[in-house]
Amino acid sequence: MSSRTFEDKQSQGSPSSGVEFLKGVGQVAGGTLLSITMLASSIVAGGLVGLAISFRNLPDVRQLRNFFPSETTYIYDIKGKLLTSIHGEANREVVPLDKISPQLKRAVLASEDADFYYHHGINPKGVGRAVVTNWVAGGVREGGSTITMQLVKNLFLSQRRQFTRKIAEAVLAIRLEQILTKDQVLEMYLNQVYWGHNNYGVQTAARSYFNKSAEYLTLGESAMMAGLIQAPEEYSPFVSMEKAKYQQKEVLGRMLTLGWITQKEYDNALKEKIKLGKIRSFQGSALPYVTNAVSQELARKFGREALLKGGMRVQTTVDAKFQEMAEETVSKWHRRLSSQGLSKNQIALVAIDPRTHYVKALVGGVDSKTSEFNRATQAYRQPGSAFKPFVYYTAFATGKFTPDTVVYDTPVSYRDGSGWYSPRNYDGGYSGAMSIRTALKLSRNVPVIKVGKAIGMNKVVETCRTLGIMSPMEPVTSLPLGAIGVTPVEMAGAYATFANYGWQSPTTVIVRVTDSSGNVLLDNTPKPQLVLEPWAAAAVINVMQSVITDGTGKNAAIDRPAAGKTGTTSSEKDIWFVGTVPQLTTAVWVGRDDNRQLATGATGGTMVAPVWRDFMLKALKDTPVEYFKPPSKFPRPKK
């Protein structure tokens, strides 16, 4: 613990010193309020101390004097190769309180526990507010936790929101403040709290977010960091600067209300230019994009604390050598496409086994060392014409359409909202009557919109949800042209369900999770369910084979039966090729992070299909040729 107190540090260059500075807040409300607060605190504290007799089995807070890191979580590839290890201490550097910016200490106290230096571990005002909120909600919605209570919860208790756990927190908080000073509690909290992106403790967080020591954080940076505590990944400036700035303003507003900063300091902090560092969460990972996706999935299923402290053993679906081959392919084509005029291009690639829905390769960008942002799982980009198979499947599933049904590529206008919408083809012309097979293989826009209107756009949305595409979408006339945001992993998973004739398991990067004793926590052995009409799924695959044999995807031909679809947005910001063989489905996306045009005339068929072909030839080198089942092998849906 630090030998210099928070009060000592505040006295240097500050209008008031430590406790006296914070006491000013209580003085604003007058001596009577302070007396009432202290009386209530004593009553509640006394009652909880009495309750402590009923909590004889609670942890002994004295063990904090000899605190050791929690168990490490290990992540392996499918063959047992260690990819990375993660635990609560993996990215932490403990610093004394006097090496932490006074601005950050004030910001955290303002945000989390303004009365920290006045209560004895619990805050009656906060508890009272939480009781009322929870009574109205009919359950635990607000905790009323002090910094001390948060600390003991993080160190000793489960994350489940239960009334008994809140009492336990309060009891332990009172006990802790009997053996540690306020400064010691604050120092431990700031070094223990989670700041996002696997940063535990204020020092590593400061270096990650702002590339500086916690000692030198400015008021603007401090307020932004304090605003992360409630939901670090959601409010992270690496994820959304807009949300981070909103939280920063909230914290600064709280500090201003408390009288801890002046109006000028508030205004200057809001205007301060934030210069970000870089995410350092998985620097030790052999396959950062894979371990990033695995960690996200584990956190969703078990919670962040279990991921970082639970000592889990995780077997992924990915073979390290196969993944490295995919990353090398992406890197090679990044350079090649750059030389062809697609400057600043990024590429994402996702390969899935349609029989299991196991992810076999997941590449989230051209270089994980320069950017850990995982475009395979986190970038929502427009799929363009790669969306069309979802519309045609929906039509086939009604029993009223087949691949040979005649549709008309002729001018049409629809009243859409407050005006009229007249769809056009990519080449600006029209081709008259044609089959659905021809319309899809040539990627004509007008026929797919006519089919979508005929069957109902709401049914198309339902199909997308069934296929696992959960991005926001409205049943508007232009929906069949893919003007929505989707991720490459969603597209690969959807096409994999077609390739497996409607049978689907949840798409995953995890095979199995056990604890350190070998007890199974998660078993993702595939349990396929039939979610689509098999004939309609087989019909879509059959039509998409024509895309590769003599359509817009001819550059994807790989000398074996394959089905796929090109995708190009009207502004050439996103270009795709998503395709499959019976044993492997792969989605490839190319675009720019700034969402600007790649190049005039850039299309999925000319630019991305060759990337897909190159990868698939390598991936299937030792895999026997298999043929898709024709639609005639399945019963047709009734009209």
Output the 3-class SS for 18-44.
HHHHHHHHHHHCCHHHHHHHHHHHHHH
DSSP letters for 367-392: -TTT----HHHH--B--GGGGHHHHH
pLDDT confidence of residue 129? 62
Is residue 167 within 8 Å of 130, Cβ to Cβ? Answer: no
The CATH code that applies to domain 6-271 is 1.10.3810.10
Q: Which tokens go with 213?
A: 């020591």
Angle, to 10 degrees, between the axis of helix 457-466 and the axis of helix 445-455? 90
Nearest to 576 by CA among 602, 557, 597: 602
Categorise residue 601: left if φ over 0, alpha if ψ from -120 to 50, beta otherwise: left
Query: In whole angstroms, what separates CA 156 from the centre of its chain?
Result: 27
Determine contact, residues 220/204, Cβ cutoff 8 Å: no
Measuring CA to CA, how many Å separate 544 from each of 141, 196, 408, 625, 635? Answer: 50, 43, 19, 18, 20
Active site (catalytic) residues: 112, 385
Residue 242, Ramachandran bin (φ over 0: left; ψ between -120 and 50: alpha; else beta)? alpha
CA distance 323 to 225: 35
Please state the domain extents for the chain.
Answer: 6-271, 326-633
Instruction: Identify the three-state secondary structure at position 10.
Output: helix
Give 276's contacts (C-beta < 8 A, 6+ positions apart): 209, 210, 211, 237, 238
Closest CA to 351 of 85, 584, 27: 584
Residues in the chain, pLDDT under 50: 1-36, 39, 43, 51-54, 68-69, 140-142, 158-161, 163
Torsional sign, CA 431, 432, 438, 441: positive
Residue that has been written with the tokens 């090496």 in this structure: 99
Query: What is the torsional sign of CA 536, 491, 410, 438?
Result: negative
Show the tokens assigned to 455.
Answer: 């069957």
User: Looking at residue 123, what is its pLDDT?
Assistant: 82
Instruction: Classify domain 326-633 at the CATH class level.
Output: alpha beta
Euclidean distance between CA atoms 6 and 28, whole angstroms: 22
What is the per-residue pLDDT across 216-268, written as a single tens digit (0 to 9) for each? 999 999 999 999 998 898 899 998 999 999 999 999 999 999 999 999 999 99
Instruction: State the DSSP code for 80.
Output: S
The residue whose two tokens read 């807009």 is: 242
555 contacts 613 by C-beta, under 8 angstroms:
yes
Alpha helix locations (H) across 272-343?
288-302, 304-309, 320-339
C-beta of residue 255 within 8 angstroms of C-beta of residue 48:
no
The whole-angstrom separation of Cα 601 and Cα 426 is 10
Q: What is the pLDDT of residue 46?
A: 52
CA torsion through residues 486, 492, 493, 495, sign: positive
Residue 418's pLDDT is: 72
Q: How far apart are CA 118 and CA 116, in angstroms?
A: 6
For residue 524, give both structure tokens.
Answer: 């993702």
d(CA 292, CA 544): 32
pLDDT of residue 415: 86
Burial (CB < 10 A; 0-12, 13-18, 19+), residue 8, is middle
* Spatial contact of 476 and 456, defined as CB atoms under 8 Å apart: no
Please report how many Cα atoms fall inside a 13 Å half-sphere around the Cα of residue 414, on the Cβ side: 13
Task: Supply 394's token pair.
Answer: 């929906």
Which residues are CB-neighbours of 160 under 8 A, at least 6 positions away?
none
Tokens standing for 607? 């630019």
Query: What is the structure's pLDDT at 59?
Result: 53
Report how far Cα 417 is from the mean position of its chain's Cα atoms: 33
Please check whether residue 497 is in contact with residue 531, taking contact to mean a CB–CB distance below 8 angstroms.
yes
